[in-house]
Structure 1
Amino acid sequence: MNQGVTVIDHPLVQHKLTWMRRKETSSPNFRTLLREISLLMAYELTRDLPLTDQPIETPVSETIGHVIDGKKFCLISILRAGNGLLEGMLDLVPNAVVGHIGLYRDHETLEAIEYYFKVPGHLEERRVIVVDPMLATGHTSVAAITRLKKAGAQDIRFACLLAAPEGIKEMRAAHPDVPIFTASIDECLNENSYIVPGLGDAGDRIYGTK
């Protein structure tokens, strides 16, 4: 078992993931499945959010309810494919604040190059969930989380659809304090740094590009 890594193995998640892996699945169906899986993943990611008591009145009587405590938590999408996970999570928690980090991978060095950074304020007071469908080499995810820590984030979680062992190793070495949530730990990376068996390029499959 990988320390610091949670595999969300709910039957609905695994069923939908199998359909997403199929090469004949169309982009519209891929997007729908990703949105549905991300909602289910958000349920697990927010399981331990702190609650505070709040007096309320129902149509029948007064009682004590429970509401999420503290500042609204934050979803950070690593562009562009991260937006596919972001949409479903926002369906579940529409009041979450949202940030975006634009990073691309240099195809020769495989290093992450930042081209956009826009996040909410007071990150140090929020739970921050970083979303990107694929944890492959880990370079992009490590760069994004390093940048968020410099911006003040302290309580960070990383959510991905698929993770390669190489990416997990890279992330745990750079950010051992950041838990990883994924629907599957796949076999390995191929010579082009694609996850095997994987599902191809998530961004291309979401948006129908090549």
Structure 2
Amino acid sequence: MNQVHHIRHPLVQHKLTLMRKKEASTNTFRRLLNELATLMAYEVTRDMPTQDVAIETPLEPMMSPVIDGKKLVFVPILRAGLGILDGMLSVVPGARVGHIGLYRDPATLQAVEYYFKMPSDMPERDVILLDPMLATGNSAVAAIDKVKALKPRSVKFVCLLTCPEGIATVHKAHPDVPIYTAAIDRGLNDHGYILPGLGDAGDRIFGTT
């Protein structure tokens, strides 16, 4: 569990509770997700490297630290991962964006890929994968496999909710990849949904059923 970062900040937990409520509207759910993603971004980027640059304040010159946002790549796993993207970009607007299209086969619960597009020069970049739910872990492992094949400098995985089964699946395949999450729920039901969870994140973000 050393690679699991459970973000317990009161604001994160408060907004997640509001999102879990079944009566939350699509608009409310989407707004809260954007706010929560922004808050989580501060934790996820806490160890981003900086370099000192020369600037001038109104009073005198100085050397001051900046990040190189262009070296960071946010990669939402379509489609639900798009709900986290804007909140992350609000913190690091210079980041690049890649996309991975995966869906979960309802019979096997295995991930099926249908789209993959990444920026160039991936070995120079740090990747943060985004998906609201880390449930069975199969989609996460498939996404990490694809990204790692491009040999980025580092890979992190960000989700709102996860469970022991999902964590175990990811860390069995990729023990070096840290997971950042707002909650570790009880487990999975027979259909691979997290309990107590918040339902299907994609449906709640986009107002579909």
Q: Deviations over 1:82-134 (max 9, x none)?
A: 00011110111111000000001111111111000001111211110000000
Q: Within 2, Cα distance between the matches of 1:209 and 1:139?
A: 23
* Residues 75 and 129 in structure 1, CA contact (< 8 A), matched pair in contact too: yes
Partner amino acid, structure 2, of 1:195: I
Q: Which residue of 2 aligns with 1:97?
A: 96
Shift of 1:154: 3.8
Shift of 1:54: 0.8
Q: Within 1, Cα distance between the matches of 2:143 and 2:153?
A: 13
1:48 paired with 2:44, answer no
Q: Which residue of 2 aligns with 1:152?
A: 151
Shift of 1:69: 4.6
Partner amino acid, structure 2, of 1:203: G
* Residues 75 and 128 in structure 2, CA contact (< 8 A), matched pair in contact too: yes
TM-score (norm 1): 0.97
* Residues 71 and 125 in structure 1, CA contact (< 8 A), matched pair in contact too: no
Decide whether aligned partners of structure 1 residues 27 and 92 sit closer, same or farther in structure 2, where only a CA change above 3 A counts: same
Q: Deviations over 1:144-173 (max 9, x none)?
A: 000111122240000000001100000000
Q: Which residue of 2 aligns with 1:175?
A: 174
Q: Within 2, Cα distance between the matches of 1:164 and 1:191?
A: 14
Once the two structures are aligned, what percentage of the paired residues are identical?
59
Q: Deviations over 1:12-34 (max 9, x none)?
A: 00000000000000000000000
1:36 paired with 2:13, answer no
Structure 2, unpaired ranges of 5+: none
Partner amino acid, structure 1, of 2:83: G
Mapping of residues 59-208 of structure 1, within 5 Å: 59-69=58-68, 71-208=70-207
Q: Within 2, Cα distance between the matches of 1:32 and 1:46?
A: 21
Q: How many pairs does the alignment contain? A: 209
Partner amino acid, structure 2, of 1:186: D
Q: Within 2, Cα distance between the matches of 1:203 and 1:71?
A: 28
Q: Within 2, Cα distance between the matches of 1:79 and 1:145?
A: 14
Decide whether aligned partners of structure 1 residues 121 and 164 sit closer, same or farther in structure 2, where only a CA change above 3 A counts: same
Decide whether aligned partners of structure 1 residues 134 and 4 sit closer, same or farther in structure 2, where only a CA change above 3 A counts: same
Q: Within 1, Cα distance between the matches of 2:3 and 2:197?
A: 21
Q: Within 2, Cα distance between the matches of 1:67 and 1:89?
A: 17
SS at match of 2:160: strand
Structure 1 segments of 4+ aligned residues over 6 angstroms from their partners: none
* Residues 70 and 94 in structure 2, CA contact (< 8 A), matched pair in contact too: no
SS at match of 1:43: helix
SS at match of 1:113: strand
Structure 1, unpaired ranges of 5+: none
Q: Within 2, Cα distance between the matches of 1:47 and 1:123?
A: 21
* Residues 100 and 116 in structure 1, CA contact (< 8 A), matched pair in contact too: yes
Shift of 1:72: 2.2
Q: Within 1, Cα distance between the matches of 2:6 and 2:69?
A: 27
